[in-house]
A = this chain, B = another copy of it.
Amino acid sequence: MDSITPNEIDIVRASSSKINEIDFENLAFGNIFTDHMLMCDFRDGKWQKPTIKPYEPFLLDPSAKVFHYGQAIFEGMKAYKDESDDVWLFRPDENFRRFNASAKRMAMPEVPEDIFLGGLHEILKIEKEWVRKGKGNTLYIRPFMIAIGTGVIAAPSTQYRFMIILSPAKSYYSGEVKVIIAEHFSRAANGGIGAAKAAGNYSAQFYPTKLANDKGFQQIIWTDDATHTKLEEAGTMNVFFRINDTLFTAPTSERILDGVTRKSIISLAEREGIDIQVRSVLVAELVEAAKNGSLKEIFGAGTAAVVNPIVGFSYQDEYFELPKIENSVALKLKDKLTNIQYKLEEDTFGWTVKI
């Protein structure tokens, strides 16, 4: 049920488009939005009629619960245009499912499929000019939900707003990515909200990431908060380690986001006959492998960054540079993945969905 019938949605068209003002070759990630947004409110115990209308600010009460208690979740997806000008989504059912899993963990109402996926189809039909052809060009999709009920008492809201906004984007990280392995700070607790795409998980990382940036590192690879011995994930990417010819990635858990890119990379690796093992990698193993030369690659995987090779890591103030290698598994898997997303190769998995 990816469609929504016209009488289930209000559409108010923008009087003019700003698309001609946009320099699509020089986009900073996530700063420019398309002409329209989708908005749908939950109140009186149910979802109201969704509206697609011109992108614009909206009013909130100073006591709105999102400001005080952080009841807010989001998703990150992309739309891709193929050579025939058709627009495609990549595994949108996974984002829909995860969004509602996040909603549950944050005590927020689940969003029905016809609003989330049906509404997304509708707004993408309207904004299809914003999806540019050519590998690397995408329209980044940001569905999110915030608590708009009022009152400064720490309890779930009774009113929510679901929205979809769209931002044309190239890839997330330009330049080399060096990471620090977390020794003190943490991203998530056992029994916490690390597996949810909850707003608060991200701001919690800003300060430690700033400290890392100051030392010349772009990202942190988080470790388990109890012992800091197990490698978990990066700020907005799951992480893969290649030791000799085996690829490792941590199992998902309450502390780790179940990434769509991660699970797609695992499937692709299996299909390509790459030895892939889903198990925790210890920091000590990684350091050992870096020292004895068996560590060949580290890369992050996520919707925004796609597949992002990491050139080196720091642990206990020692920096380990990764070797420059031929036949990078990261780049091979990235190529396979993006070929499916841009419909340049057959989608044997049935991952792509046409708008």
In this complex, what residue of B is CB-closest to A145? B67
A60 cross-chain contacts in B, Cβ below 8 A:
57-58, 60
Are the CB atoms of B146 and A67 closer together than 8 Å? yes
Interface of chain A residues 12 through 30 with chain B (CB within 8 A): 28-30
A144: chain B residues within 8 A (beta carbon): 67-68
Q: Is A269 at the interface (CB under 8 A from chain B)? A: no
**A69 in the interface, Cβ–Cβ < 8 Å?**
yes
Q: Nearest chain B CB to A19's CB is how many angstroms away?
A: 18
- Complex Cα gap A166–B201 (Å): 28
- Cβ of A199 within 8 Å of any chain B Cβ, yes or no, is yes
Q: Whose C-beta in chain B lies nearest to the C-beta of A203?
A: B71
Q: In the complex, which residues of chain B have a beta carbon less than 8 angstroms from the beta carbon of A65?
A: 203
Chain A, interface SS category = loop
Q: Is A62 an interface residue (CB 8 A)?
A: yes
**A153 and B31 within 8 A (CB):** yes
Q: Which of B72, B165, B191, B225 contacts A192 (CB 8 A)?
A: B225
Knowing A152-B165, A152-B167, the reply to whether A203 touches B62 (Cβ < 8 A) is no
Of the listed stretches A180-188, A292-300, A344-352, chain B binds: A180-188
A151 within 8 A of B: yes
Knowing A186-B191, A190-B226 are in contact, say whether A63-B33 is a contact too (CB < 8 A): yes
Let me know if A107 and B70 touch, CB within 8 A: no
A66 contacts B67, C-beta separation under 8 Å: yes
Select which of B185, B200, B202 is within 8 A of A203 by beta carbon: B200
Which residue on B lies nearest to A106, using beta carbons? B203
A196 (CB) vs chain B CBs: closest residue: B204
A98 to B218 CA separation, bound complex (whole angstroms): 29
A74, B154: Cα distance in complex, Å:
12
Write 29 A-B pairs (CB below 8 A) sorted by A numbering. A28-B153, A31-B150, A37-B62, A57-B60, A58-B60, A58-B62, A62-B165, A63-B167, A65-B203, A66-B199, A68-B72, A69-B199, A69-B203, A69-B206, A70-B204, A72-B203, A76-B152, A107-B207, A152-B165, A154-B236, A155-B206, A184-B191, A187-B189, A190-B225, A190-B226, A191-B225, A191-B228, A198-B203, A200-B203
Spell out A's residues near B (CB within 8 Å).
Answer: 28-31, 33, 37, 55, 57-63, 65-72, 74, 76, 104-107, 140, 142, 144, 146-147, 150-156, 163, 165, 167, 172, 182, 184-193, 198-208, 210, 225-228, 235-236
The 5 A-B residue pairs with the shortest CB-CB distance in the complex, in nearest-first order:
A200-B200, A70-B199, A189-B189, A226-B226, A107-B206
